[in-house]
Amino acid sequence: MAKGGFRGGPMGGMNQAAMLKQAQKMQQEMLKMQEELQTKTYTATAGGGMVKATVNGSHNLVALEINPEAVDPEDVEMLQDMVMAAVNEAMRTAENEASSTMSKLTGGLNLGGLF
C-alpha cells in the first residue's frame, strides 16, 4: 500500500453521494415498474382455445373460461389438464414479462431481490 493509506476506493473515487442517489432512483423506477406489472393481465389458452385462463401481474387467477364443448363427463381428466396448462402458461407469460422488464432497468444485473 502506498504511503498515506488507501485512496480512491473500488469505484475509482466515484462520489458516494451520487452513487446512492442513482441507486435510490433505480429503486423508485423498479417499484413503479412492479406496480405497473401488477396491474397487467396475461391470458393463455389450451386445447385449441377450449380453455382460456387470465392471470394478473400478482400471479392471481382472475378469469377462467371453459368452452362448453370441452366438458365431457367421461373425460374430466382432460379438462383438468387443459385448465392447468392454460393457467401455467399464463403464469409463465407474466413471469417472463416481469423478468424482461426488470432486466431492461437493471441492465441485466441480477440484484437478487435487493429492491
More confident residue, 34 or 74: 74
DSSP element (H, E) containing 91 = helix 76-106
Nearest-10 Cα torsion for 69, 61, 111, 14: 110
Q: What percent of the chain has pLDDT over 70?
A: 80
Q: Which of 38-52, 62-76, 95-109 has the lowest mean pLDDT?
A: 95-109
* Helices and strands: H and E segment counts in the chain: 2, 3
Mean pLDDT value of segment 4-29: 72
pLDDT for 23 equals 82
pTM equals 0.67
